């Protein structure tokens, strides 16, 4: 097989990239190791920045998002039994976010790709990227029990942290920056209407809690738990009771309970791989960087990466200049590090470390008081939460 761009991974980044390239008249092939059902049902992030939503609309993939997604114009911060709302449009000139699950984004993009785009091969396991530093890189892959080769002009690795793409970057050229946090998130899906119409981020002496949602009838909630916690060690009643404690307010707000349909624990880490390009191999999304979920940045960072690549390749097609391709890594990493900074700030603002001292507890409360009392501080949070510009 031969194509201009070989894309490894059919998550939202790889699928969106294929769509952007198709709209620019550039051919591609997408290789995905899992089957279609798995891709369309794996639960991941559900907050789309303003820029991400705008890109999906411009790509022709926003119709169902606009019909079924939930626009959010703010978040609520809770601390010391108090509530403070951050108004995004008022602070950012009208920007907001969209609650629309990654699974739904993938369904929309898969349907478009199969109808209009180039080949999308499910259960096609990428085995290796070869010749990344040549003009003719290739991807060895296995599909339907047979090993094959995809010859490309460029390879984009959207295959996540455990994929093969990053392994093609020589170790001597690589710098890795990472931090592992001593806690995780116990997340649940529950068949109950959300108890608040916007996301609620709660700082409590017992640990962080987050109230989110998947739809008007399905709630998504999280509890900070020690690293290595087994989700099944928590009974449903224990989870609801702990959520109620951490969300408690002085005005009598109530958390509605419902049947829990899913439990899982998400570890918390920050990770950046530099560079994000080696020759004609370009890394995107979790293949190059991971953020803790507190800032809702993971999916949106991946979108920023593939938008940057698609623009760069389109620019080369139209002008003959590789200038934007040559600066891909630097352009992406500027945005990545701002998102890492914001995610770290949100994580350390709202989570209580296992060895936290009374001094550190009071510093957290002081930082939250500053956010609640300063328009400048609120604006910084709102601008970061609704999204850093692409490029």
How high is the mean pLDDT of the chain?
A: 96
* CA 198 to chain centroid: 19
What is the per-residue pLDDT across 169-189, written as a single tens digit (0 to 9) for each?
A: 999 999 999 999 999 999 999
What is the per-residue pLDDT across 225-262, written as a single tens digit (0 to 9) for each?
A: 999 999 999 999 999 999 999 999 999 899 999 999 99
Residue 84 has pLDDT above 80, yes or no: yes
Question: Per CATH, the architecture of 181-267+352-386 is what?
Answer: 2-Layer Sandwich (3.30)
Q: In what order do the strands lie in the sheet with 74-79?
A: 82-87, 74-79, 199-203, 209-215, 218-226, 175-190, 260-274, 289-290
What is the per-residue pLDDT across 332-352, written as a single tens digit (0 to 9) for each?
A: 999 999 999 999 999 999 999
Three-point CA angle 343, 345, 349, nearest 5°: 120
pLDDT band at 41 (very low <50, low <70, confident <90, very high): confident
What is the per-residue pLDDT across 188-214, written as a single tens digit (0 to 9) for each?
A: 999 999 999 999 999 999 999 999 998
Contact indicator for 297, 291 with CB cutoff of 8 Å: yes
pLDDT above 90: percentage of residues in the chain: 97
Supply the pLDDT for residue 212. Answer: 95
Supply the pLDDT for residue 46. Answer: 85
What is the per-residue pLDDT across 122-165, written as a single tens digit (0 to 9) for each?
A: 999 999 999 999 999 999 999 999 999 999 999 999 999 999 99
Q: In the numeric block, which tokens belong to residue 352? A: 């209580």
Residue 391 has pLDDT above 70, yes or no: no
Return the active site residues: 72, 201, 293, 297, 385
Supply the pLDDT for residue 313. Answer: 98
For the domain covering 5-72+99-177+269-346, report its CATH number. Answer: 3.50.50.60
Alpha helices, H only, the chain: 12-23, 36-39, 50-58, 63-68, 88-92, 102-116, 236-247, 298-319, 323-326, 328-350, 358-373, 375-386
Q: In the numeric block, which tokens belong to residue 146? A: 């047979």
Residue 106 has pLDDT above 90, yes or no: yes
What is the per-residue pLDDT across 279-312, written as a single tens digit (0 to 9) for each?
A: 999 999 999 999 999 999 999 999 999 999 999 9
Averaged pLDDT for residues 102-107: 95
Averaged pLDDT for residues 90-99: 97
Pairing label, strands 28-31, 5-8: parallel
What is the per-residue pLDDT across 323-332, written as a single tens digit (0 to 9) for each?
A: 999 999 999 9
Supply the pLDDT for residue 47. Answer: 95
pLDDT above 70: percentage of residues in the chain: 100
**Where in the chain are the domains?**
5-72+99-177+269-346, 181-267+352-386
């Amino acid at each position: 097989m031969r194509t201009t761009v070989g894309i490894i991974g059919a998550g939202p980044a790889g699928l969106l990239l294929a769509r952007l390239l198709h709209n620019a008249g550039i051919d591609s092939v997408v290789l995905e190791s899992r089957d279609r059902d798995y891709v369309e049902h794996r639960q991941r992030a559900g907050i789309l920045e303003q820029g991400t939503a705008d890109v999906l609309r411009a790509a022709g993939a926003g119709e169902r998002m606009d019909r079924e997604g939930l626009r959010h114009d703010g978040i609520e911060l809770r601390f010391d039994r108090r509530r403070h709302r951050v108004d995004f449009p008022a602070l950012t000139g009208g920007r907001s976010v969209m609650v629309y699950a990654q699974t739904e984004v993938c369904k929309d993009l898969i349907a478009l790709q199969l109808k209009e785009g180039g080949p999308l091969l499910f259960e096609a396991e990428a085995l290796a990227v070869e010749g990344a530093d040549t003009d003719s890189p290739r991807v060895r892959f296995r599909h339907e029990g047979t090993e094959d080769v995809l010859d490309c002009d460029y390879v984009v690795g959207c295959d996540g942290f455990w994929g093969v793409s990053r392994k093609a970057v020589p170790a001597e050229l690589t710098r890795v920056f990472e931090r592992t946090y001593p806690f995780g998130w116990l997340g649940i899906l529950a068949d109950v209407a959300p108890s608040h119409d916007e996301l609620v981020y709660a700082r409590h002496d017992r640990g962080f809690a987050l109230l989110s949602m998947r739809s008007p009838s399905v709630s998504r909630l999280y509890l900070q738990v020690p690293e290595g916690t087994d989700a099944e060690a928590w009974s449903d009643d224990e989870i609801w009771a702990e959520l109620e404690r951490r969300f408690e307010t002085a005005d009598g707000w109530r958390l509605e309970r419902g049947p829990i349909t899913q439990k899982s624990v998400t570890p918390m880490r920050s990770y950046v791989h530099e560079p994000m390009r080696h020759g004609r191999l370009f890394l995107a999304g979790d293949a190059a960087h991971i953020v803790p979920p507190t800032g809702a940045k993971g999916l949106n960072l991946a979108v920023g990466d593939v938008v940057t690549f698609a623009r760069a390749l389109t620019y080369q097609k139209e002008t003959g200049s590789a200038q934007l391709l040559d600066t891909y890594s630097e352009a992406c990493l500027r945005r990545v590090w701002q998102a890492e900074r914001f995610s770290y700030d949100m994580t350390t603002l709202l989570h209580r470390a296992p060895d936290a001292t009374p001094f550190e507890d009071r510093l957290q409360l002081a930082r939250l008081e500053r956010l609640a009392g300063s328009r400048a501080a609120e604006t910084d949070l709102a601008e970061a939460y609704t999204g850093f510009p692409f490029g």
